[in-house]
Amino acid sequence: MAPSGPAYFPRVEQRFKWPWQGVEWSLGYVAFLAYVFVISSYIINIGQPTMALAILGITISSKDRWRFPAPIFLLIAFMLLITLTFQSTEYRSYITQPLEDMLKVCMIFIVGVSVLNTRARVRFFMFYYLAVFALFPVRGGLFNWFLYSATTQGRVGWNYLFENPNDFAALMIFPMALTIAVWLSERNKLIRLLAFAGVAALPLVIFLTQSRGAILALGAGVFAFFLTQGKGRIKSMLTILAVAGVVFLLAPKSVWDRMRSLRSATESGNLREANDSGSAEQRFEIWKVAWKVHEAFPITGVGWGGYPNAHADFSRLPGIKATARGARDAHNTYLTLLGETGWVGFLTWMSMIGLIVAAAIRAMRRVRPYAPDYGMQIKIVLLALLSFAVAGMFGSFAHMSFLYLHLALLIGLARVTNMDVDAVERGPGRRRGGR
Q: What is the pLDDT of residues 321-371, one digit of tens each?
A: 888 888 888 999 999 999 999 999 999 999 999 999 999 999 999 999 999
Q: Is residue 58 in some structural domain? A: yes
Over 50: is that where the pLDDT of 9 sits? yes
Query: What is the Cα–Cα distance from 255 to 261, expressed in whole angstroms?
Result: 10
> Average pLDDT of 195-215?
89
Q: Is residue 151 in some structural domain? A: yes
Sign of CA dihedral 341, 398, 305, 51: negative
Q: Please, are residues 246 and 200 in contact by the beta-carbon 8 Å criterion? A: yes
Check residue 432 and give its pLDDT. Answer: 44
Q: Please, are residues 304 and 329 in contact by the beta-carbon 8 Å criterion? A: no
Average pLDDT, the chain: 85
Q: What is the pTM of this model?
A: 0.89
Over 70: is that where the pLDDT of 316 sits? yes
Coil, strand or helix: which one is 393?
coil
The count of domains in the chain is 1
Sign of CA dihedral 32, 37, 42, 45: negative
Over 60: is that where the pLDDT of 263 sits? no
Cα–Cα nearest to 409, from 219, 196, 181, 134: 181
Q: Is residue 363 in some structural domain? A: yes
Burial class (CB in 10 A: 0-12, 13-18, 19+), 435: exposed
Highest mean pLDDT among 16-30, 198-212, 350-364: 350-364
pLDDT band at 6 (very low <50, low <70, confident <90, very high): low
pLDDT band at 255 (very low <50, low <70, confident <90, very high): low
* Other Cβ atoms within 10 Å of 76 Cβ, number: 15
pLDDT band at 224 (very low <50, low <70, confident <90, very high): confident
DSSP 8-state symbol, 272: G
Q: Is residue 415 in some structural domain? A: yes
Backbone angles phi, psi at 155, to 5 degrees: -115, 135
Over 80: is that where the pLDDT of 197 sits? yes
Least confident of 13-17, 169-173, 401-405: 13-17
Amino acid identity for residue 252 in this structure: P
Over 70: is that where the pLDDT of 5 sits? no
Q: Please, are residues 329 and 307 in contact by the beta-carbon 8 Å criterion? A: yes
Over 60: is that where the pLDDT of 268 sits? no
Check residue 349 and give its pLDDT. Answer: 97
> Average pLDDT of 247-251?
61
Q: Is residue 246 in some structural domain? A: yes
pLDDT, tens digit, 9 for 90 and up, residues 40-86: 999 988 888 999 999 999 999 888 999 999 999 999 999 999 988 87
pLDDT, tens digit, 9 for 90 and up, residues 95-126: 678 888 899 999 999 999 999 999 999 999 99
Cα–Cα nearest to 220, from 37, 388, 48: 388
Check residue 221 and give its pLDDT. Answer: 87
Q: Is residue 434 in some structural domain? A: no
* Other Cβ atoms within 10 Å of 227 Cβ, number: 7
Q: Is residue 257 in some structural domain? A: yes
pLDDT band at 92 (very low <50, low <70, confident <90, very high): low
Check residue 17 and give its pLDDT. Answer: 82
The range of the structural domain enclosing residue 79 comes to: 6-426
What's the maximum distance between 2 C-alpha atoms anywhere in the chain? 74
Q: Is residue 54 in some structural domain? A: yes
Q: How far apart are the first and last CA of the chain?
A: 11
Check residue 1 and give its pLDDT. Answer: 36
